[in-house]
Amino acid sequence: MKRVFLLRHAKTLGPAALNGSTDIAVAEEVQDELAQLLNSHGFTHIITSPLRRCADLAHKLQALNPSLTVAIESDFREMHFGEFDGQPFDALAPHWAMLEAFWQSPAEHPLPGAERLDECYQRVTQAWQRRLPSCPDNTLIITHGGTIRLLLAHVLHTDWRNPRWYSSLAIGNQTLTQLNIFPAPTPFVSVRNIGIELKDKPLN
């Protein structure tokens, strides 16, 4: 068995916004504290989204532990929200009906110019299948809330089109989701924990 942990990045700088592919950073002092906390977990390998809110943390962890290997996986980035990407929610008030339709059924009501949910699902799950065979035990994947939900839908064989999967499944900032991978001709994935608040004591 090997363990793979999915970490959602910390809260980003600036006003609350629809940040998908927009490259917004996390405060450096927050990343420093988070790196110190994660360093006690003894991760052996990191796969990170290329966006700064994830990649900056990966590089800080590697600086604390030079034996850590780090890989950038561009397909683990967050969904691109098209014309609304990076826009503060206050500025999106005139488009609230369109946003509400998207929240209610993201598969059926894509935002203007945005990546479709099916495209995002294919991108994320293909990257997972590509990376999984080479993941050592105690791998950390630093990524985004949307990406984690899609990965969970994939490994649990649930309907990723179901809007309740996105509205009801809480994946907070700085939380860990643990997957246990059992080797087989087709690896079996067991979901051990979802959205656990990060603590000093490692999960097992």
DSSP 40: T
CB atoms within 10 A of CB 172: 12
* 160 domain residue, yes or no: yes
* 202 domain residue, yes or no: no
pLDDT at 74 over 60: yes
pLDDT at 47 over 70: yes
Q: Is 67 exposed, middle or buried (0-12, 13-18, 19+ CB in 10 A)?
A: exposed
Cα gap 84→18, rounded to integer Å: 7
Cα gap 128→145, rounded to integer Å: 15
pLDDT digits (tens, 9 = 90+) for 88-109: 999 999 999 999 999 999 999 9
- Whichever domain contains 169, its CATH number is 3.40.50.1240
pLDDT at 155 over 80: yes
Confidence of residue 151 (pLDDT cuts 50, 70, 90): very high
- What total of structural domains would you count in the chain? 1
Alpha carbons within 13 angstroms on the beta-carbon side of residue 96 total 5
Cα gap 160→105, rounded to integer Å: 11
Query: What mean pLDDT do residues 169-175 have?
Result: 94
* 49 domain residue, yes or no: yes
Host domain of residue 86: 2-197
* 204 domain residue, yes or no: no
| pTM to 2 decimal places | 0.95
Cα gap 29→56, rounded to integer Å: 12
Report the candidate in 20, 27, 16, 37 with the shortest Cα–Cα distance to residue 7.
Answer: 37
